[in-house]
Amino acid sequence: MTITTLVFDAYGTLFDVTGAARLAAATPEGAILGDRWPLLAAEWRRKQLEYTWQRAISGAHAAFDVVTAEALDWALEAMSLSAPALRTRLLALYDELPAFPEVLDVLTNLHGTGYRLAILSNGSPRMLASLTAAAGLQALIHDLLSVESVRVYKPDFRVYAMVEPALGVKPRQVLFISANGWDIAGATRFGFNTAWVNRTGQPMDRLPQGPKHILRDLTGVPQCL
């Protein structure tokens, strides 16, 4: 079955999740971070993902902006950083994370050749709208699918099942693209064609399902089609 639709994960795939800490470190509020911003970014992201999985397993759903703030609070405390102004700045920047350098050109070309582009993300509708607007992608990606519609986080089966009724496509017509190996495993198990964006040369996750394609960045997406 021909691929007609490209569905992208957002965080870590289109948008750089380290961007908020990196940009904050260059502001007066973030001077306290200094060269420790990569550690904060890593701990914040790790705890954010852990909280989504724990909430999905326990059934105690909360919106992604809540989970993101709770993970940041944990990371700041773990690094002994008590700085309300920095916290406010970091959360504001998270709503405008920078897109990776190749994203705009790649998505523009894919859109121009007739592919339908969508996002399927843990992010709330407000967060996704803010991200795509800040990156200038709103004219290219019209479908922003958020887990808030089913109130459970990836890689729950119900998240991937949103795509067929929302976009009117069968799983085999979809190429799902994510930088998260666990997300790729869930999407592959669901029945999507999958491409794993391995930007940092990570080993493949030891999970039952793997990607159909492995890419260094999004410039390789056209070759998957």
User: Between the CA of residue 133 and those of 6, 9, 87, 96, 140, what are the distances in Å?
Assistant: 19, 16, 23, 8, 10
d(CA 10, CA 178): 8
Q: What does DSSP assign to residue 101? A: T
The residues annotated as belonging to the active site are: 9
Residue type, 22: R
- Residue 220's contacts (CB-CB under 8 Å, 6 or more residues apart) are 195, 213
Whole-angstrom distance, CA of residue 26 vs CA of residue 37: 10
Q: What is the DSSP letter of 63?
A: -
